[in-house]
Chains A and B, each alone.
Chain A
Amino acid sequence: MIEVARGGSFLRMMAILQRQAFLYRRTFHRWLDLFYWPLVDLVLFGFIQLYIQRVSHVAAFFLGAVILWDLLFRSQQAVSVGFLEDVWSRNVLNVWASPIRPAEYIGGTIISGVIRVVVGSTFAVLIASTFYHFNLMTVGVALAPLVIGLAAMGWALGIFATAVMLRFGEGAEPLAWALAFVFQPISAVFYPVSVLPGPLQPVARAVPASHAFAGLRTVLNGGGFPGRAIAITFLLDVIYLFVCSMFFAWMLRQVRSRGLLSRFGE
C-alpha cells in the first residue's frame, strides 16, 4: 500500500496551484498576460486621467478603479480559465476521476488566482505610482476589505462561468473571458450608481462591486472609512458565492447524470 500524506484536501488544492506554477514556468505568454493588460489599462486610463484632471477633481479615482476592476476581472478569470486549461489539454477526465472534490478543485483555482492577482496588482500599483503619481495605498485600511470584496465577486462569477462550461462545453468559453464585463456597466466602476437610469439602479445595488467602488470613491474623496459599503459588499458576496456554488453543484449533478463529462475526452 502506498503512503498517503495527511491533509489530502489541502494537498489536492496545492496540486492545482502547482500545475499553474509549472504552466507559468513553461509559457512566456502567461507572463505577458499577467503584466501586459494591466499596463495597457493603466496607460490608457492614465492619459485619460491626466486630461480630466485639468477639468475635474474626481480624476484621481480613475486609476484606483482601473486597478481594482482588473483585480475583480482576473479573479473571475483565474477560476474559469483554470478549468478551461483542463478542457484544452483534454485533461478533464484525468483530474475529475481522481479523488479531488469539486470544492477542492475550485479552491485550488482560487488560490492560484489570488497569487496571480497579487502579482498583477502589485505591478499595476507600481506603474500607477511611478508614472501617474497615484498611490493606491492612500486608500489606507479600507483597501484590504475592498480588495477581498471585489475578488470574492470575481470568484463567484468564475464559479458560475465554470458551471456553465461544464454543462454546455467549450461553446460557453466566451463566458470564461467576458462574464465580468457583463457586470461592468452596472458595477459603478467609473461612475456612481446614481448616474444610471432609474430602473437599472436597483439592479446595480444588487451587485457587490457597485458598493465596493462607491466605498473607494468615498475614501478618495476624503469621506473616511466606508464601513457600510464594505459590509454590504461582503453580505452580497456571501450571497453570490452561495448561489453560484449551489448552481455549480446543480450543474455538476446534471453533467454527471447526463454523462456529459465524457464529452471532455472527445
Chain B
Amino acid sequence: MGNCTRALGYDERMTTTVLDVRNLTKRFGDVIAVDDVSFEIGGGEMVGLVGQNGAGKSTTIHMVLGLTTPSSGSITILGRDPHHDRSALQQVNFSAAYTSLPQTLSVEENLIVFARLYGLRKPRRRVHEVLELLGVPHFAPMRTRSLSSGQATLVHIAKALLNKPRLLLLDEPTASLDPDAADRTRGVLRRVSIDEGFTTLITSHNMREVEEMCHRIIFIHRGRVVATGSPAEVTAAYGSPDLESAFLRVTRGEP
C-alpha cells in the first residue's frame, strides 16, 4: 500500500467485504454502459472510481443504489442484494453534486426528513450530531436556498452521514466547487472517514483529489475496468508521472 494509504489510517478493517460487485453489465439498447465489471471494497477502504464522462461510473453507482437495474451480474452490500432487499440500503448513503434538497426548507428540516427516511431514532439529535461532526452546527436554521455551493455540498454530505452508513457513495462530491471549498470538503471527508471508519466509493474527475484521498482506484473506460490498484501502482503501470497523465493516456488510447 502507498503512503497515502497509511496516512489515512488504513488498517485491518478491510477484511470485511462491504460491497461486492460481480460481472456487472448494463446495456441501454445497443449501448453497453457497464461491461462485465467486478470489484470488491473492504471495510474502511476509500476507493476511487475514475474514468471519463460516460465511462459508466454513475451508472455503476446507480446500480449499487438500486436506482438502475443491472442487465446481468450481481451486487451485494454486506451480503444483501439491494435490488431484492431494500433494507440493504439502510447500510448505504449517497451524495452527488447533481442532486439537491428542497430549497424552501431549512437545513435542519431537510435533514430530519432524511433521518426519518432512514428510520433513525431521535432524528433531531442525530441531525445536530452530524452537523457538529462536520463543524457546521450553525447551518441548522439556515434556509437551504441561502447556502453557497460549498455549504450545500457539506449539507449533502451531512445527509449522507445521517445513518452512519457502512457504505458511503460519493458521486463527484466536489464538482463545481472552487478550489478552496473543494479542499475544505476533502478535509472533512478525510476526517470523518477516519473517525467513523466509513467505507467509501467516490467518483471524481479531479485526479489530484483521487490520489490524495483514495487507498485504491478502479479505472473504468468505456464501461470496462482497465486498471485497479493504489494510485501509485496505477500511475506506475502506465509509466506516467502522475495519475492525471495516466488518465489521459487511457482515455486517449495512447500506449
Contact = CB atoms under 8 A, between A and B. Distances in A.
Main secondary structure of the interface of A (DSSP, over half): helix
Nearest to B113: A19
Contacts of B33: 259
Main secondary structure of the interface of B (DSSP, over half): mixed
Contacts of B59: 259, 262
B99 A27 contact: no
Interface in B82-109: 86-87, 89-90, 92-94, 96, 98-106, 109
Interface stretch (B41-49, B62-70, B198-206, B242-250): B62-70
Interface stretch (B114-122, B181-189, B211-219, B231-239): B114-122
Contact of B163 (A2, A253, A259): A2
A5 B102 contact: no
A1 interface: yes
A253 B67 CA distance: 10
A98 interface: yes
Contact of B68 (A1, A23, A90, A256): A256
A89 interface: yes
Contacts of B100: 89-91
B82 to A, nearest CB: 9
B62 A262 contact: yes
B26 interface: yes
Given A99-B90, A253-B69, A15 B117 contact: yes
A12 B117 CA distance: 5
Contacts, number: 123
Contacts of B68: 256-257, 259, 261-262
Contacts of A56: none
Interface residues of B, number: 43
A206 interface: no
Contacts of B98: 90, 93, 265-266
B113 A22 contact: yes
B159 interface: yes
Nearest to B115: A15
Contacts of A100: 86, 117
A191 to B, nearest CB: 41
Contact of B69 (A23, A98, A257, A262): A257
Nearest to A102: B86
Contact of A18 (B26, B94, B113): B113
Nearest to B59: A259
B120 to A, nearest CB: 6
21 contacts: A1-B164, A2-B120, A2-B163, A3-B121, A4-B120, A16-B113, A19-B105, A19-B113, A23-B105, A26-B104, A26-B109, A27-B104, A89-B100, A94-B114, A97-B67, A99-B89, A257-B68, A259-B26, A259-B28, A261-B68, A262-B68
Interface of A: 1-5, 8, 11-12, 14-16, 18-19, 22-23, 26-27, 85, 89-101, 253, 256-259, 261-262, 265-266
The 4 closest A-B pairs by CB, nearest first: A15-B116, A8-B119, A90-B100, A2-B164
